[in-house]
Amino acid sequence: MTIEKEQDVVPFRNRVKEHAVKIGMSILNQTKLITAASELVRNMLKYAGGGVTTIEVLSKGRENGIRVVFQDKGPGIKDIKQAMQDGFSTGKSLGVGLPGAKRLVSEFDIKSIPGEGTTVTIIKWKNG
Amino acid sequence: MDRIPILRMGKFLLVTIQIDLYDRLATNLESDLVNMVNKTGARGVLIDISALSIVDSFMGRILGNIGTMSKIMDAEAVVVGMQPAVAITLIELGLELKGVHTALNVEKGMELLHEKISFDEDTLDEADYENNSE
């Protein structure tokens, strides 16, 4: 799903929710996943002017989960370690986006090349 | 342009958020509310978020701003009806929703506003009395 304006955020969140409902995720885990996804999609819009998201259902043994990938061709993040700290922000936001999103999901991966873009992958297991 | 309706009830303004807000709608609500407080001299603002399935850091900041701005305009803001899953998620995300009062539901929120405002008026009345007796 392509994200290029703020009006895309709500439909994107609904798509994430549909997937989470499909695998029978609890309301609490759904809320955590959707909130994390919302933070990341907002970051993508704010710092990279948009990007592409992919939502898919995963299976590992008996456990099901949802993976969401956020890919942008923005300026990238120079210092990921710093960006993952609570309260750090280059913008005017509260600086909870990245570290907060990480706390809300089961698995979190971020790769960024300055000048080329950033890819963030999150996984929320159904019971995770 | 889409707008969230703001209802006036005596000294209070009531807002029920029934849909997931996109950013522009949320920032409009923030400025509409502050303008309404100014125009009507409202002493309290009650925001019902029971229909919101998520509150992310952006929405959290808007709610906090409404609280702080109301206070500057001599009004109290209370957010009511937060879903338990939303409350848990907010704390894990790292947001404390500072600057705004919260209550379990609309009824409790109204009680809270009445308490805050009648307390203010009592102390004002006493001050007037002291001034007059001089």
In a domain, B100, yes or no: yes
Distance separating alpha carbons of residues A41 and A74, to the nearest angstrom = 13
What is the total count of domains within chain B?
1
With 80 as the cut, is the pLDDT of residue A18 above it? yes
In a domain, B2, yes or no: no
> A28 and B20: CB-CB below 8 Å?
no
Q: Which domain holds residue A61?
A: 2-125
> A35 and B53: CB-CB below 8 Å?
no
pLDDT at A27: 96
Pick from B22, B60, B94: which is nearest to A6 by CB? B22
Distance separating alpha carbons of residues A63 and A58, to the nearest angstrom = 8
**CATH code of B107's domain:** 3.30.750.24
**CATH code of A84's domain:** 3.30.565.10
pLDDT at A119: 96
Report the amino acid identity of residue B56: D
User: So what's the ipTM on this one?
Assistant: 0.87
What is the total count of domains within chain A?
1
In a domain, B1, yes or no: no
Q: Which of A3, A15, A31, A34 to substitute to test the interface with B, most B CBs within 10 Å?
A: A31
Q: Which domain holds residue B84?
A: 7-133
Q: Using pLDDT thresholds of 50, 70 and 90, give the confidence band for residue A92.
A: low
Distance separating alpha carbons of residues B81 and B75, to the nearest angstrom = 20
